[in-house]
């Protein structure tokens, strides 16, 4: 048990926690050391404040986190544990050596699993090569240089962050109010079921495909993949389904001309973070889509769902930084039913974890009033994007109406 005390103290350092948390068997700790497990479960929220993540957290901070997150537990019951933690002298380098060993064994286990699948004929040999390349260590000591720091030349920042457009939207209202998407940007849209979330994507993705230098990876774990592909055809061409099927050869050509074959839909109801990472590494996308992001598997199970979901959104943000902008989709809670202007408080299964990681959040509202069936209500409840030269600063958190045309899988401005 001394090991887990040392590990807990090491994890009070944000960098150590972030680097090694995925390689610790928290289920084993939970089953064998339940009281200590509660303290480990406090760590995600303890490190949640981005302004504090560069600092070393203290045992006193951990006590406050326990009292805040689990008020039903008596601090007195944890006094012996906190006393042990305070008296313990930890050699962080030795703990990191142990954690690094766990990481290496975890990587070896992944490769072994792929190798077995290749040997059994279930997966191709190329998957093994990809798996091997993904675990080769690239951590080499480097001397500090100017390349380690952000380029703070003002002309360069103006050129890259505003003057040079990223991926533009098919709706002028989104270009004015939100601005184009660039590498590092992560945001999500949310709405109640049957409101038009997939229609939004089928409007946006084909349009952005024409601008993208690389593929768009659309991870779909919601609808049947073939249906999503058809919606994408409709959104790209702006035609109803019966017309699409009336001349499949013609519309196949037109679709390829519009999208340049860059829209790649991955339909897997049980898609894991590891599989997403493999595909991103392999194809180097220009845009990543998650529909629905909350259903991605492969994350550590937490007692609180909001904490577990926050980890997914932190991961998505890192993908945006490493590869390309990310657009995610999630649900609005029951508070958003029949509501026109959705706010961040209407995001399903979240306190602040999801919202805190996003650069932009778009709520899509819908009323049940007669005669307004094809009207949707856009609200930018969060917007940290710089925008383009044609941006309207007064509409950074704008509310406006749009028209949905489900028969052709498109949204349109009025």
The confidence score (pLDDT) of residue 142 equals: 45
- Classify each residue of 44-59 as buried b or exposed e, where b means 16 or more C-beta atoms within 10 Å of its C-beta: bbbbbeeeeeeeebeb
| 213 within 8 A of 200, measured Cβ to Cβ | no
To which residue do tokens 């819908």 refer?
366
Q: What is the pLDDT along the chain (414 residues), one digit of tens a residue?
A: 568 888 888 888 887 887 778 778 788 888 888 888 888 888 888 877 545 445 678 888 888 888 888 877 777 778 888 888 888 777 766 777 777 777 777 778 778 888 888 888 877 887 777 777 666 544 444 445 555 677 778 887 777 777 677 999 999 999 999 999 999 999 999 999 999 999 999 999 999 999 999 999 999 998 889 999 999 999 999 999 999 999 999 999 999 999 999 999 999 998 999 999 999 999 999 999 999 999 999 888 777 888 889 999 999 999 999 999 999 999 999 999 999 999 999 999 877 889 999 999 999 999 999 999 999 999 999 999 988 989 899 999 999 999 999 999 999 999
Q: Which residue ranges make up each domain of the chain? A: 2-90, 95-135, 164-413
Give which of 330, 412, 334 is closest to 376, Cα–Cα: 412
| 146 within 8 A of 266, measured Cβ to Cβ | no
Q: Give the whole-angstrom CA distance, residue 409 versus residue 403.
A: 11
Which regions of 154-284 does DSSP assign to beta strands (E)?
Answer: 186-191, 216-220, 263-267
The confidence score (pLDDT) of residue 31 equals: 85
The confidence score (pLDDT) of residue 163 equals: 67
The confidence score (pLDDT) of residue 93 equals: 67
How is residue 295 written in tokens? 């259903």
Residues shown for the chain: 414
Task: Order across the sheet with 263-267: list the strands.
Answer: 263-267, 216-220, 287-291, 326-331, 186-191, 360-365, 375-383, 399-405, 410-413
Termini Cα distance of the chain = 64
To which residue do tokens 């997914």 refer?
312
Domain 164-413 CATH class label: alpha beta
């Amino acid at each position: 048990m001394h090991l887990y005390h040392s590990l807990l103290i090491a994890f009070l350092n944000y960098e150590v926690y972030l680097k090694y948390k995925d390689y610790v068997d928290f289920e084993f700790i939970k089953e064998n050391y339940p009281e200590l497990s509660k303290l480990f479960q406090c760590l995600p929220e303890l490190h949640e404040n981005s302004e504090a993540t560069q600092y070393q957290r203290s045992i006193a901070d951990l006590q406050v986190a326990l009292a805040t997150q689990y008020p039903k537990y008596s601090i007195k019951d944890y006094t012996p544990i906190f006393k042990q933690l305070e008296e313990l002298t930890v050699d962080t380098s030795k703990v990191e050596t142990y954690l690094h060993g766990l990481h290496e064994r975890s990587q070896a286990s992944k490769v072994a699993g792929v190798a077995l699948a290749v040997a059994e004929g279930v997966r191709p040999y190329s998957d093994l090569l990809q798996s091997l390349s993904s675990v080769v260590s690239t951590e080499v000591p480097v001397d500090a240089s100017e390349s380690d720091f952000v380029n703070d030349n003002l002309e360069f920042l103006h050129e890259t962050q505003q003057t040079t457009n990223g991926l533009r939207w098919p709706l002028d209202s989104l270009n004015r109010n939100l601005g184009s998407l660039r590498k590092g940007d992560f945001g999500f849209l949310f709405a109640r079921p049957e409101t038009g979330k997939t229609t939004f994507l089928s409007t946006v993705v084909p349009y952005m495909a024409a601008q993208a230098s690389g593929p768009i990876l659309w991870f779909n774990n919601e609808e049947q993949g073939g249906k999503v592909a058809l919606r994408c055809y409709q959104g790209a061409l702006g035609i109803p389904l019966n017309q699409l099927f009336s001349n499949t050869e013609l519309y196949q050509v037109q679709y390829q001309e519009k999208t340049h074959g860059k829209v790649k839909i991955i339909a897997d109801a049980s898609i894991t973070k590891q599989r997403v990472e493999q595909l991103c590494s392999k194809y180097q996308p220009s845009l990543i889509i998650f529909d629905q992001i909350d259903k991605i598997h492969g994350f550590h199970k937490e007692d609180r769902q909001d904490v577990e979901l926050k980890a997914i959104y932190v991961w998505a943000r890192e993908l945006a930084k490493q590869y390309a902008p990310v657009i995610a989709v999630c649900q609005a809670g029951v508070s958003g039913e029949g509501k026109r202007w959705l706010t961040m408080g209407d995001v399903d299964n979240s306190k602040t974890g999801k919202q805190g990681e996003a650069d932009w959040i778009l709520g899509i509202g819908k009323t049940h009033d007669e005669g307004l069936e094809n009207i949707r209500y856009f609200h930018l409840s969060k917007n940290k994007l710089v925008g383009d030269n044609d941006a309207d600063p007064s509409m950074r958190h704008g509310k406006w109406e749009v028209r949905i045309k489900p028969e052709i899988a498109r949204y349109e401005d009025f």
